[in-house]
Chains A and B, each alone.
Chain A
């Protein structure tokens, strides 16, 4: 898979150069050097295969992690233009858990190659080289091994998340030297060598590397660099910083106190927010918002600005409440604190005083019918149809996303025409239509567990705007959640906040996010333990993250042959 992709990708014409001669030289170089080098750097074919067992030792960097890593290593002004293979959400799981099993398509690898070329070119261009290359070659038109060595010593450790072994250094320096010879430019050669690192599986994948565990003879443990990467991707959603790598170098991550110090540091950093945002966007299924469309006649207020702002509102709210204010997770469903823009204000029917920042912290009216995440348009609009609200979709989303309960898909031959007939003069409200729909026993089973939840949110139309009538009929917002009678959206939020499955579900999702794979039966007791710790800590998210990050299970070597020794990965 990878080999053919590489050949395809590296045979492409490079970006234009000032002279045709230089272009020809570079094209020859791209045909000659990267293939040889990249092929040598690929792991053995078996290592690129998804692990058969759920526990695996290779995890593809998500697009966010890739972008964050490039920004952290080279700076935020380095443009990363390109898209990666999309992550596929497994049934009832996180998208992130798919990074352990997903392969890279040939087209996806082409994208990697293209991005690598563009990134490397920016790193060495006139605007950036002084800062990012960090040394001046003796002469611009020829190789300078000392300068190349200094560059790769610094950058290589950050890219591969571990120091480069001597053979790795020699490979990169040789590539830079050969590139300089063929192109007549030190910096072009350096960029070509850097490009090979950026398409290396050691950059694109977080590969577990094991070593003998001195505390358990005959057993292996993750080496310190792998632990550093696992921690950083979990808590910061990016590559380890120099302090974490330094702690790894000192062996502190094998020590409980040293590990705790680093975890505390990561948790205290504002960069924790990036990972919290990634996690909740994943948990709440925000990928569906990108494709969300609404009937423009029925919902004219669903404009581009609203679509852009609605997930951001929820993520800002989550970060504010759970990270900055360290509040009880369950308050997320009852709090009236949120953030608002002018665009969102017209959907909520609320005034917003704009300032220099288009986002303003906002307290929803006490008796305005809204409180908590379930009354935000990111939930209400995302789990509605394009032309009508959907108590069923909302109820299903609540069960699957927030309670970790699976709701079966509908049978293939169900007649939905009645539900879609929103102008039915007899059945004017969604409650009326669903009541008739449930008379079909095939449908009734599932609707019984979704609709009583979703009907309590019927004060919100298909875009999340407030209403009290539907087709002129007053809306009845009574319903129930697992035996608790509920009337209206605010009461639903309160019931959800008291539901014991809600914090358990979060702990389970966090465990899944931390391991970046689906949980196996072997993980469940650990996830349950984390849920208990979560409760003991008053349902504070940072405390849960800390408990997970410092738990032996999180940093354990995966018990399958997916683990690579450092030597294997280098090979």
Chain B
């Protein structure tokens, strides 16, 4: 790894692969970059953009019912009282963890949520009732009216000055306890794995009318070093995935220190699903008609939003998971999927008109990282 990428952290060369901190954490604390420099980031947090307003406003009906609660709701008062007696605990567990979450053919509410669409015992979620949410206007309309690419749906008022926000995924799951938690600090992590963002040809980190942006999954073998407290460390090197499916090349612009990326038709990122004892590596997470708003921070990191339409069966709980999710995590994936179907607002099926994707937004936090390409350029670079 020798070659011509020998610029110091303050003097960047175009061929160099450099983390944001090298250009960003300049002496005065501001973000600086030299002409044509490259910034790299590891996105370490990509949770669903969930807004935490007053709970009673967001979720006046309380948390959505768990699968166990849905089971109990199917019982009359006497039967409910009987089965909850301590001496009937085994019968109770077998009842809600048995037939109630498994269909006659062995289908499971989380492995096969589509199979329960007509099962009224798994009702859709009530959804978030308040009008404020994080997110981006993805359909371009001010009011969510139907378009050739979208179905009619309500809009949110955006935070961060974004009007007419589309974030139906938040509406669907924002009152689900296992996703929302009881406080913002308890929010479940997103269903995206850490990924890389590389900004190239950056002339001015405040305003640049065109930059190239790579959005990449990383090589599995490049583990993330963390502090003993579990925080990922900055300035680590990560190779770009060797699978071209997970290498997305887009363009964007910088306006007042914010990276704006619009109209990305498709974005794919690898999703490693942790199953019992092993990772399954072949899954992809898919976004359509993607927009990003990312602010470069003085610490060399980035924060912002990724918005786009996600295929309904591409959301981990209903798309990939897991026979035990219902019985151990007490999630009713059939209810969740049913909610997605009802709230889907993107990509209508030309035959039925039913939308097949749902608008979503993820809040991204990135730390400076070195993005290493396997095409030989970095071999010259270092």
Q: Which A residues are closer than 8 A to B by beta carbons?
A: 296, 300-301, 303, 305, 340, 342-343, 345-347, 349-354, 360-363, 365-369, 466, 468-469, 474
Chain A residues with CB below 8 A from B236, complex form = 342, 345-346
A305 to B228 CA separation, bound complex (whole angstroms): 11
7 closest A-B pairs by CB: A351-B370, A300-B227, A367-B8, A346-B235, A352-B237, A365-B6, A363-B2
Verify B227–A350 contact, CB threshold 8 A: no
Q: Is B131 an interface residue (CB 8 A)?
A: no
A393 to B27 CA separation, bound complex (whole angstroms): 27
Given A346-B225, A353-B1, residue A300 in contact with residue B237 (CB < 8 A)? no
Chain B residues with CB below 8 A from A346, complex form = 225, 233-237
- 11 residue pairs from A and B, CB less than 8 Å apart: A300-B229, A303-B227, A342-B222, A342-B237, A343-B225, A352-B1, A352-B370, A354-B239, A363-B2, A363-B6, A474-B27
Q: What total count of A-B pairs have CB within 8 Å?
A: 98
A469 to chain B, nearest CB (A): 7
A333 to chain B, nearest CB (A): 20
Verify A367–B6 contact, CB threshold 8 A: yes
Name the residue on B nearest A363 (C-beta). Answer: B2
A468 to B18 CA separation, bound complex (whole angstroms): 19
Verify B233–A300 contact, CB threshold 8 A: yes
Q: Is B140 an interface residue (CB 8 A)?
A: no
Chain A residues with CB below 8 A from B235, complex form = 301, 345-347, 349-350
Chain B residues with CB below 8 A from A360, complex form = 1
A349 to B23 CA separation, bound complex (whole angstroms): 11
Q: Is B90 an interface residue (CB 8 A)?
A: no
Q: Is B221 an interface residue (CB 8 A)?
A: yes
13 new A-B contacts, CB < 8 A, other than A303-B227, A354-B222, A354-B372, are A296-B228, A300-B229, A300-B231, A342-B222, A342-B225, A350-B370, A354-B239, A361-B2, A362-B382, A363-B6, A366-B8, A368-B8, A369-B8
Verify A365–B233 contact, CB threshold 8 A: no
Name the residue on B nearest A351 (C-beta). Answer: B370
Selected contact of B7 from candidates A303, A343, A365, A369, CB within 8 Å: A365
Given A303-B225, A343-B225, A346-B234, residue A353 in contact with residue B8 (CB < 8 A)? no
Verify B379–A301 contact, CB threshold 8 A: no
Name the residue on B nearest A472 (C-beta). Answer: B29
Chain B residues with CB below 8 A from A366, complex form = 6, 8
Q: Which of B1-42 contact A (CB under 8 A)?
A: 1-3, 5-9, 11, 16-19, 21-22, 27
Given A303-B227, A362-B382, residue A368 in contact with residue B17 (CB < 8 A)? no
A324 to B147 CA separation, bound complex (whole angstroms): 69
Given A353-B237, A365-B6, residue A305 in contact with residue B225 (CB < 8 A)? yes
A362 to B222 CA separation, bound complex (whole angstroms): 19
Chain A residues with CB below 8 A from B5, complex form = 365
Verify B237–A354 contact, CB threshold 8 A: yes
Q: Is B124 an interface residue (CB 8 A)?
A: no
Selected contact of B378 from candidates A300, A343, A351, CB within 8 Å: A351
Chain B residues with CB below 8 A from A363, complex form = 1-3, 6, 382
Chain A residues with CB below 8 A from B222, complex form = 342, 354
Interface string of B227-264 (1 = CB under 8 A from A): 11101011111010000000000000000000000000
Q: Is B381 an interface residue (CB 8 A)?
A: yes
Verify B378–A469 contact, CB threshold 8 A: no
Verify A469–B231 contact, CB threshold 8 A: no
Q: Which of B214-232 contact A (CB under 8 A)?
A: 221-222, 225-229, 231
Verify B233–A353 contact, CB threshold 8 A: no
A300 to B234 CA separation, bound complex (whole angstroms): 10
Verify B27–A351 contact, CB threshold 8 A: no
Name the residue on A nearest B28 (C-beta). Answer: A469
A337 to B225 CA separation, bound complex (whole angstroms): 25
Q: Which of B11, B19, B221, B235 has the most C-beta atoms of chain A within 10 angstroms of its own C-beta?
A: B235
Verify B228–A303 contact, CB threshold 8 A: yes
A345 to B370 CA separation, bound complex (whole angstroms): 9
A296 to B6 CA separation, bound complex (whole angstroms): 31
B233 to chain A, nearest CB (A): 5
A303 to B231 CA separation, bound complex (whole angstroms): 11
A366 to B228 CA separation, bound complex (whole angstroms): 33
Name the residue on A nearest B18 (C-beta). Answer: A351
Verify A353–B382 contact, CB threshold 8 A: yes
Verify B9–A353 contact, CB threshold 8 A: no
Verify B227–A466 contact, CB threshold 8 A: no
Chain B residues with CB below 8 A from A466, complex form = 9
Q: Which of A347, A350, A369, A466 has the most C-beta atoms of chain B within 10 angstroms of its own C-beta?
A: A350
Verify A353–B22 contact, CB threshold 8 A: no
A362 to B228 CA separation, bound complex (whole angstroms): 28
A459 to B50 CA separation, bound complex (whole angstroms): 42
Verify B228–A351 contact, CB threshold 8 A: no
Name the residue on A nearest B378 (C-beta). Answer: A353
Interface string of B121-149 (1 = CB under 8 A from A): 00000000000000000000000000000
A340 to B2 CA separation, bound complex (whole angstroms): 12
A288 to B9 CA separation, bound complex (whole angstroms): 31
Chain B residues with CB below 8 A from A362, complex form = 1-2, 382
Chain B residues with CB below 8 A from A474, complex form = 27
Chain A residues with CB below 8 A from B226, complex form = 303
B3 to chain A, nearest CB (A): 8
A354 to B237 CA separation, bound complex (whole angstroms): 8
B16 to chain A, nearest CB (A): 8
Q: Which of B152-169 contact A (CB under 8 A)?
A: none
Verify B11–A367 contact, CB threshold 8 A: yes
Chain B residues with CB below 8 A from A305, complex form = 225
A40 to B21 CA separation, bound complex (whole angstroms): 68
Selected contact of A365 from candidates B8, B27, B237, B239, CB within 8 Å: B8
Verify B7–A350 contact, CB threshold 8 A: no
Q: Which of A350, A351, A362, A474 has the most C-beta atoms of chain B within 10 angstroms of its own C-beta?
A: A351
A354 to B240 CA separation, bound complex (whole angstroms): 11
Chain A residues with CB below 8 A from B234, complex form = 346
Verify B381–A351 contact, CB threshold 8 A: yes
Name the residue on A nearest B22 (C-beta). Answer: A349
Name the residue on A nearest B234 (C-beta). Answer: A346
Chain B residues with CB below 8 A from A303, complex form = 225-228, 233
Name the residue on A nearest B231 (C-beta). Answer: A300
Given A342-B225, A351-B17, A367-B8, residue A301 in contact with residue B233 (CB < 8 A)? yes
A361 to B221 CA separation, bound complex (whole angstroms): 20
Interface string of B86-104 (1 = CB under 8 A from A): 0000000000000000000
Chain A residues with CB below 8 A from B18, complex form = 351
A111 to chain B, nearest CB (A): 31
A561 to B381 CA separation, bound complex (whole angstroms): 62
Selected contact of A353 from candidates B21, B221, B229, B239, CB within 8 Å: B239
B226 to chain A, nearest CB (A): 7
A309 to chain B, nearest CB (A): 11
Chain A residues with CB below 8 A from B9, complex form = 349, 365, 368, 466
A501 to B123 CA separation, bound complex (whole angstroms): 83
